[in-house]
Amino acid sequence: MKAALQHFGLHALWQRWRGLRLPAKPRALPVASGLERVTVSATRITGFDQPLVLLVMALLAFSLVMVYSASVALPDGPRGARLGELYFLTRHGVSIAIGLIAALLALQVPIAVWEKWAPWLFVGALLLLALVLLPFVGSARNGARRWIPLGILNFQPSEAAKLVMTMYAASYMVRKMDVKEDFVKAVWPMTVALAVIGLLLLAEPDMGAFVVIAVIAAGILFLGGVKGRMFLLICAVLAAAFVAMIAFSDWRAERIWAWLDPWNEKYSRGKAYQLTHSLIAFGRGGLFGEGLGGSVEKLNYLPEAHTDFLLAVIGEELGFAAVAAVIVVFFWITRRIFVIGRQAIALDRVFGGLMCQGIGIWIGGQAFISIGVNLGALPTKGLTTPLLSFGGSAMLMNLIALAIVVRVDSENRQLMRGGRA
């Protein structure tokens, strides 16, 4: 029996099933640590942050329930007349399944490989952002050209650009560590790269994605050790750019005025329509909500209830208690990602640490913006809530990013157990 199992390579699996531990045969990756070199296993994940993974899985399960609840009435409206009531739930479930499979694959890739390919992935992201603008490639919806049809899902290159910018900025800071005191040498090339990606995003247009990517890049530059004066200069340049975009665009300026005075009759039926109905939903929900499925605003009153304004449906059906719980969960996830990144930096794995913290800025920052938009604290941006809202591309990239965080955490744990040369 034993000989047969060994012949087919199943002896190790049999021993592990019986509860025995066999010595691992890792493929060693060298990682610099001071004057010595330590090794990290590239074949097996031996430890990871289980609470983080379980909390993410709980959010995914909750998202299935809420996306179904928010979208169940869409087939009764003119836009969804040809769709079944399970249409969005099915697509959301397929998106989560694809995202989990992609996350498992990303989990097998050592962080050193992501660092090596970061510049090339950035070039690929720029090509995709340019490709989506071509009329015979990208598909348009509501006046924006942001998607590339792929059959099972419509891929949104701007979502991939968020993760790729995180990798590229972390890689850039590692490569420029010796000149980070010099603005021209350290910051100017990154500013040019951000300007190129910004122009492509604004051509779609997708200002929300550009805001998130700009925040990620600025955050990684700051965490990477750029001097405070240089960081303030970067923030001032970005702020001036956003003010200029609003000042020279009538419809963006009108959206700001609508946000400042949403109940004005001039805006309440136009630019502020989504915001006013979102606020009505929160008002109806009160402390504990109207009960699951009891939302009125989702009955074709609140546009994009299953995507950008899913939190408003949560507030109306489950109340302030559920909204507060969602905020606490995102705060904990973001904090945990930052802790993992800080551990990696302490282990002299700067790229992995900065990339983790960039992902934390992305997940936490986008959740903050989305929640703020739903509550009327921020202008409408067209951003989904990570891990909750309907959206295949966003779900796919969020899960891949979190898998990379888990990989960084696993490699951290292996090093802390004592890697040998």
- Mean pLDDT by runs of 10 across the 421 residues of the chain is 45 42 40 39 62 95 95 77 83 95 96 94 93 84 81 85 94 76 69 87 86 91 78 80 81 86 86 91 93 90 89 95 96 96 93 95 95 91 90 94 96 79 27
Note the helical H segments in 132-227: 157-175, 183-186, 188-203, 207-223
Cα–Cα distance for residue pair 146/322, rounded to 1 Å: 32
Of 117, 122, 120, 144, the closest CA to residue 132 belongs to: 144
- What predicted TM-score, i.e. pTM, was given to this entire model? 0.85
Distances (CA, A) of 185 to 136, 177, 179, 230: 39, 11, 6, 12
d(C-alpha 341, C-alpha 315), whole Å? 32
146 phi and psi angles, rounded to 5 deg: -125, -5
Q: How far is CA 109 from the centre of its chain?
A: 19
Q: Do the beta carbons of residue 317 and residue 293 sit within 8 Å?
A: yes
Residue 24 per-residue DSSP state: P
Locate 15 and state its tokens. Answer: 């021993």
**Nearest in space to 281 (alpha carbons), one of 314, 323, 232:** 314
φ/ψ (deg, to 5) at 304: 55, 40
- Per-residue model confidence (pLDDT) at position 178: 64
| φ, ψ of residue 49 in degrees (nearest 5) | -80, 95
Q: How many CB atoms lie within 10 A of CB 318?
A: 24
**Cβ proximity of 289 and 317 under 8 Å:** yes
Q: Are 333 and 55 in contact (CB under 8 A)?
A: yes
Asked if 281 and 315 count as a contact pair (C-beta separation under 8 A), the reply is: yes
Residue 367 pairs in a beta bridge with none
Q: What pLDDT is stored for residue 400 in this prediction? A: 97
> 350-375 and 273-285 helices cross at what angle (nearest 10)?
90
Cα gap 197→209, rounded to integer Å = 10
The confidence score (pLDDT) of residue 185 equals: 67
DSSP string computed for 122-135? HHHHHHHHHHTTST
Q: For residue 41, which phi and psi values (nearest 5 degrees)? A: -70, 130
| Inter-residue contact 217 to 168 (CB < 8 Å) | no
pLDDT of residue 45: 56
Burial class (CB in 10 A: 0-12, 13-18, 19+), 158: buried
Q: Token pair of 346, please?
A: 């302490």
Is residue 200 within 8 Å of 244, Cβ to Cβ? no
DSSP 257-295: HHHHSTTSHHHHTTTTHHHHHHHHHHHHHTTT-S-TT--
Q: How many secondary structure helices (H) and strands (E) does the chain include?
A: 16, 5
Cα angle: 109, vertex 114, 116; to 5 degrees: 125
- Measured from the Cβ of residue 276, the count of other Cβ atoms closer than 10 Å reads 19
Closest CA to 80 of 408, 338, 390: 390
How many CB atoms are located within 10 Å of the residue 326 CB?
21
- 92 contacts 390 by C-beta, under 8 angstroms: yes
| Extended beta strands in 34-178, E state | 36-41, 139-141, 144-149, 154-155
Count how many residues are written for the chain: 421
Contact 41, 415 (CB under 8 A): no
